[in-house]
Amino acid sequence: MTALLQTLIFGLATGAVISLSAVGLSLSYGVTRFINFSYGEFLTLGAYLTVLGVAFGLSLPLAIVLGMLAVGVAGVVLARIFFDPLMDRGFLALLVTSVGLAFVLQNLVRMVAGSNPIRFPLPLMRPWHVGALFVPKVPVLEVAVALLAMIVVHLLLTFTRIGKMMRATSDNPALARASGISTARVLAATWFLSSAIGGLGGVLLAMTQIAVQPVMGWSFLLVVFAAVLLGGIGNPYGAMLGSLVVGLGIELGTTYISPDYGHAFAFVILVLVLLLRPRGILRGAF
Amino acid sequence: MALLPFLVGLTTLALIYGLLALGLNLQYGVTGLLNFGHVAFFAVGAFTSALLTLPPKGSAAYLQADAHYQIGLGWPVPVGFLLAGVAGGLVALLIGATSVRLSSHYLAVATFAMAEIVRSVLTNEDWLTRGEFGISNVPQPLKDTVIPAAVYPYAYLAGTVVIVAVLLALTVRLTESPYGRALRSVRDDELAARSLGKRTPALKLGAFAVGGALAGFAGSLWTHSLGVVHVGQFVPIVTFQVWLAVLMGGSGNAYGALLGSLVLMTITQSTRFLGNVPFLDGLTRRNPSFVPSLRFVLIGLLLIAVVRFFPRGILPERPRRPRRRAVSARRRAQTGASGGSGATDAADTPDTPDTVSREDEP
Amino acid sequence: MRRVAILLAAVLTTVALAQGGAIKVGLLLPFTGQYDWVGANVQPVAQMIADQVNQSGGIGGRDIVLTQGDTEGTVDAGFTAAQKLVNVDNVVALVGPTSLSFSGSKQLIQDTGVPMISPTAGTTELDKAGTKYFFRTVPSDSLGGRAIARAATDAQYLGRSQAFTSPVLMVAKSPAMVSFESPLQNAFQSYGTPLKATLEYAPGKPSYRSEVQDALSHNPDVIVLVGTPEDSVRIMQAAFQAGYQGTWFVTQDQTNADFIKLATPQLANGIYGLEEVASPESAARNDAFKKQFKTYSGKDVQIFGTNTYDAMNVLALAMLRAQLKDGQVTRATVAQNIRAVADPGAGKVDVTDYASGKKALEAGQEINYQGLVGPVNFDQYGNITAPFAIRQVKDGAWTDVTILPASALQ
């Protein structure tokens, strides 16, 4: 029983790390409508920029915030250069371009930072004990950050003008355009938001996996995809739910089935769910 | 400089990739299916062919090679080759059956995920595949008995050329047949195809299976050419390379897929020479990964440039018959459909703000 | 197409002009992809030795030039990389490959007779795969596995009052790691303390909390951990969080200063590690090498550093002997001379680096290279046997506990 509860806690923590990136990816899906294979590199960039910031003497929180902002800006700029010119060319052209961009970004990081893993600047902390259970601090921190970020995203989408425009564009691009919403502005705002969230997601990933490496975002991306699809593409709330399911699935599968399959459990869940509900648990936006 | 053996080795590999591209072209280029798990069929073909033809456990050849695998049936290589195609096709059928109903985005990621599941199984079921050890004495047909080792690469290339040419001819015939036209109708306008009474799910499954079989054949050629089989080969990058080959060559055109693979091999291998440029060579002293990473930056940029500036590839799909073309062009203008060739056809339908929405049909 | 061909031709010509007289050595290693760090660790050490050779006048006046062949961590990139090195660059010898890239390049290397010395491929798959061209300066994992089991089950090698009684093995499912598994299982069995459990885990996951929970449920007093440094740190940190009180035994891959940096001294304190050493005396040379490398590159020696040092020195000395005795440096003469400079023999002078070897060879003597990882004497399959140092992290640094002689592993 203790073991099961402990595994559920781990699942929650894993889900929290996935969720932030999944929400960010889902947001960009909603407006840009393609599967962005370069999204993992925004995670990598967020983690590396934070490490860099701390190396330059910034405090960790400040480095994280600056890293997030920088990744947000990078997302807008990269989208302007690589994706915006193709917006009329359909889903596949954008998807393949994103694969190319992923190659470019991952290898640029390696060219600059080298291949060896670098420790993320977070000290070793003792866990809290709750009865027979133990609760490590880092995951709690991660759950808190993820929850906070998601509340902010929710408020942004619900109450701000740009958030409403984003949702309108996501629901029906043609109608949104017809009612005078500037697509370019919405696109830029979405890119900024989703990339910055991705940057923060990368920081959470780095905290979990202790070391940063050039391939970290790329290898994690598929799990994020699974969460996003499970929830239903383009639906940020679905992404949160999908992340939880994937997180729990990975940890339960590892404990009770076999540890050597690792992330494959996430994909099995994904395929099973899609068999039953071809558009995810919470039907996707499209 | 022994340029000839170098070119022979690479051409063989490029043709094997060309066969993969031929399969993907049938699935995506002709039928419009976004298959991002192509590497799974390649893997299944390679392992099938290897396990069927390896000398049985305990045999003289097994002991001599100091081998450790469990299963080897010692069947002739041609049987392994044919059954590799069958296995690739069956797995494609299985994966297709679970996912052809999905809409494009879901299909893309679902196939990608399923390829990862296949890779995971191959990695972990060591009794079957030797997992991360791989198997390194896969038989090379006729080597040393009929064909001396010195000229073997040339002979293997010749054999590969013949096999690929035959499969190419068959594929072209298939796509020119009424069946091929039906596949194309699924791509161009699935709704219309369905309303004309075409059983689109069955058509899609068929394309999936035939494409998978071609990838299975490619797997067999691959494993016997190198004499090894190792799960470490079958990573997602392979799928992306095949996509790049199809898009560069001209999606929808079988000859283009093959040409695309040759061009791709030329590019990925010629960029290896970056390390020989004296100035760049100096930079590797600071960071050994600098030049190799630069190489992939360039390959990534190339991928982006191809999509942006050569949307129809080197050998664009030829218009079918003038009459049909007029009809389909009109239909495209009406519906704004980019069909399966999202990256390619859009060039002649610039008025397609709704390109995506058509793709979203489940 | 034609433009590409012209470009290719232009590049090739430039290359040919620039490197006309050089002796080329290929580095057939991953520089990108999942195992990118392997090439990154090997190249600087190899370059340092090449620079030393070149500064001392090269091999018969010709410089050694290193050429990269990026195997990308996939099989057929290993093949194409080897194709270029062997057929286009015309390398005289190869340093590498890793176990994975060996799959793709094996046929080609055998068919063309290029000698290769691998500082990185410890896999048991190669224990008997050696041909007359294949050597390695990393002991087989079967030896490393036995050494860990021997030390863990015998208090005299641990510097503590008791040997371990409840060992658990955690091993990554990746090409470089799995080959430790069965040697460890067999050795622990044969030394009378069978492993309580063996857990295979998927490499490269962000965290291993559930895997660790599983391992700890067997109440181990030592966990033998085989994996990349970053995965090892993830596992150790998860166990720390879970209140694990026992200790760890890691392989050569983690027994270096960088690992302590990655893990933090607090986490790494008390863990046992394994390192190949030739003798107590070689420990001093090892330190000298580390200092020399730090001066040369500004960095610490990383995984495979000492193995590369030996591989490159043996290769350079074999080239020099080929030049002196055979009058030419070709694949065949280098392959023959590798044993001639590395293996023991009557009347041979022991040398420990290129400079001393060069002096002896030029004086007409025969030499026997003594390396940092052992005496570097190749058996019939090109494998080395090495004594191991059992080391332990104390006060944030690796310190020697005992030396496990090769004879203890029989």
Cα first-last separation, chain B: 55
Beta-bridge partners for C197 = C168
Average pLDDT over residues A104-127: 91
3-state secondary structure at position C19: coil
Q: Which residue type sits at C160?
A: R
pLDDT > 50? residue C19: no
- Render pLDDT for C339-392 as a digit per residue (tens, 0 to 9): 999 999 999 999 999 999 999 999 999 999 999 988 899 998 999 988 888 999
B positions 283-322 inside 8 Å of A (CB): 287-290, 293-297, 299-304, 307-308, 311
User: Residue C284 — very low, low, confident or very high, per pLDDT cuts 50/70/90?
Assistant: confident
pLDDT > 90? residue A60: yes
Residue with tokens 């061909």: C5
pLDDT > 50? residue B331: no
Report pLDDT for B98. Answer: 83
Beta-bridge partners for C118 = C136
3-state secondary structure at position C347: coil
Average pLDDT over residues C399-405: 89
Q: Determine contact, residues B22/B258, Cβ cutoff 8 Å.
A: yes
Report the gap between the CA of C354 and the closest CA in chain A (Å).
Answer: 29
Report pLDDT for C193. Answer: 95
Report pLDDT for B320. Answer: 62
Question: CA of A265: which chain C residue's CA is closest?
Answer: C202
Where is pLDDT greater, at B340 or A253? A253
- Render pLDDT for B221-236 as a digit per residue (tens, 0 to 9): 999 999 999 999 999 9
Lowest mean pLDDT among A81-90, A178-187, C185-194: A178-187
d(CA A136, CA C207): 12
Report pLDDT for A182. Answer: 82
Report pLDDT for A110. Answer: 93
Contact with chain B for residue A1, Cβ under 8 A? no
State the pairing for strand pair C397-404/C388-394.
antiparallel
Question: CA of B295: which chain A residue's CA is closest?
Answer: A107
Report the gap between the CA of A255 and the closest CA in chain C (Å).
Answer: 6
pLDDT > 70? residue B133: yes
Residue with tokens 């840009």: A32
Lowest mean pLDDT among A50-54, A59-63, C42-46, C159-163: C159-163
- Render pLDDT for C310-331 as a digit per residue (tens, 0 to 9): 999 999 999 999 999 999 999 9
Report the gap between the CA of B42 and the closest CA in chain C (Å).
Answer: 13
pLDDT > 80? residue B325: no
Q: Determine contact, residues A95/B274, Cβ cutoff 8 Å.
A: no
Average pLDDT over residues C82-105: 90
Q: Which residue type sits at C302?
A: Q
Report pLDDT for B322. Answer: 46
Report pLDDT for C77. Answer: 92
Q: Summarize chain C as % helix, strand, coil (round to 5).
A: 50, 15, 35
With a CB cutoff of 8 Å and minimum separation 6, the contacts of B202 are none
By the 10 Å C-beta count (0-12 exposed, 13-18 middle, 19+ buried), B310 is classed as middle
How much is the mean pLDDT over chain A? 90
Report pLDDT for B313. Answer: 87
pLDDT > 80? residue B15: yes
Kindly report the number of other CB atoms within 10 A of residue A12's CB atom. Answer: 17
Nearest to B124 among C11, C127, C173 (CB): C173
Distances (CA, A) of A9 to B120, B266, C59: 26, 51, 63
Lowest mean pLDDT among A156-170, B72-86, C38-52, C214-228: A156-170
Lowest mean pLDDT among A78-87, A274-283, C45-54: A274-283
Nearest Cα to Cα of residue B89 among B167, B179, B199: B167
Backbone φ, ψ for residue C159 (5° rounding): 65, 30
- Render pLDDT for C142-169 as a digit per residue (tens, 0 to 9): 999 999 999 999 999 998 889 999 999 9
By the 10 Å C-beta count (0-12 exposed, 13-18 middle, 19+ buried), C343 is classed as middle
d(CA A125, CA A136): 8
Contact with chain A for residue C241, Cβ under 8 A? yes
| CA geometry: angle B296, B297, B302, nearest 5 deg | 90
What is the 3-class SS of B183-196, one letter each residue? HHHHHHCHHHHHHC
Contact with chain C for residue A251, Cβ under 8 A? yes
pLDDT > 80? residue B336: no
pLDDT > 90? residue A260: no
Residue with tokens 């860099």: A52
Report pLDDT for B338. Answer: 41
3-state secondary structure at position C89: coil
With a CB cutoff of 8 Å and minimum separation 6, the contacts of B154 are B8
| DSSP classification of residue C87 | I
Q: How far is CA B245 from the centre of its chain?
A: 9
ω into B350 cis (within 30 of 0):
no
Question: CA of A222: which chain C residue's CA is closest?
Answer: C205
Q: Does the CA dihedral C277-C278-C280-C281 come out positive or negative?
A: negative
Nearest Cα to Cα of residue B120 among A253, C173, C208: C173
Report pLDDT for B65. Answer: 82
Report pLDDT for C7. Answer: 57
State the pairing for strand pair A133-135/A128-130.
antiparallel
Report pLDDT for C68. Answer: 92
User: Residue C8 — very low, low, confident or very high, per pLDDT cuts 50/70/90?
Assistant: low
d(CA A112, CA A120): 17
User: Residue C5 — very low, low, confident or very high, per pLDDT cuts 50/70/90?
Assistant: low
Nearest Cα to Cα of residue B34 among B304, B338, B348: B338
Average pLDDT over residues B297-322: 84
Contact C205 A263 (CB under 8 A): yes
| DSSP classification of residue C59 | B
Report pLDDT for C378. Answer: 93
pLDDT > 70? residue B329: no
Nearest Cα to Cα of residue B188 among B3, B8, B351, B344: B344
Q: How far is CA B197 from the centre of its chain?
A: 31
pLDDT > 50? residue C393: yes
Report pLDDT for B262. Answer: 95
Q: Token pair for residue B244?
A: 């790049």
pLDDT > 90? residue C125: no
Contact A278 B105 (CB under 8 A): no
Report pLDDT for A175. Answer: 85
In a mutational test of the B interface, the residue from C125, C186, C198 whose CB has the highest number of chain B CBs within 10 Å is C125
With a CB cutoff of 8 Å and minimum separation 6, the contacts of B147 are B155
Q: Where are the beta strands (DSSP E) in C174-282?
A: 197-201, 222-226, 247-250, 272-276
Report pLDDT for B324. Answer: 46
User: Residue C181 — very low, low, confident or very high, per pLDDT cuts 50/70/90?
Assistant: very high
- Render pLDDT for B149-204 as a digit per residue (tens, 0 to 9): 889 999 999 999 999 999 999 999 999 999 999 999 989 888 888 888 888 889 99
Average pLDDT over residues A173-180: 83
pLDDT > 80? residue A87: yes
d(CA A21, CA A28): 11
Q: Determine contact, residues A181/A50, Cβ cutoff 8 Å.
A: no
Nearest Cα to Cα of residue C199 among C180, C212, C183: C212
Lowest mean pLDDT among A26-30, A54-58, C322-326: A26-30
User: Residue A139 — very low, low, confident or very high, per pLDDT cuts 50/70/90?
Assistant: confident
By the 10 Å C-beta count (0-12 exposed, 13-18 middle, 19+ buried), C212 is classed as buried
DSSP result, B253-321: -HHHHHHHHHHHHHHHHHGGGGGGSHHHHHHTTT-TTHHHHHHHHHHHHHHHHHHHH-TT-SSPPPP--
B positions 317-346 inside 8 Å of A (CB): 338, 341-343, 346
Q: Token pair for residue B17?
A: 């990739």
Neighbours of chain C (3+ CB pairs under 8 A): A, B
With a CB cutoff of 8 Å and minimum separation 6, the contacts of B76 are B53
Average pLDDT over residues A31-40: 90
d(CA B335, CA B190): 12
Contact A259 C39 (CB under 8 A): no
Nearest to A93 among B116, B124, B342 (CB): B342
Report pLDDT for A76. Answer: 96
Contact C68 B293 (CB under 8 A): no
With a CB cutoff of 8 Å and minimum separation 6, the contacts of A247 are A11, A12, A13, A14, A15, A16, A17, A18, A19
Contact C217 A210 (CB under 8 A): no
d(CA C306, CA C282): 11
pLDDT > 50? residue B306: yes
In a mutational test of the A interface, the residue from B303, B341, B359 whose CB has the highest number of chain A CBs within 10 Å is B303
Residue with tokens 């990118």: C36
Report pLDDT for C227. Answer: 93
Lowest mean pLDDT among A136-140, C182-186, C328-332, C333-337: A136-140
Residue with tokens 């940057």: A199
- Render pLDDT for B16-33 as a digit per residue (tens, 0 to 9): 999 999 999 999 999 999
| DSSP classification of residue C92 | S
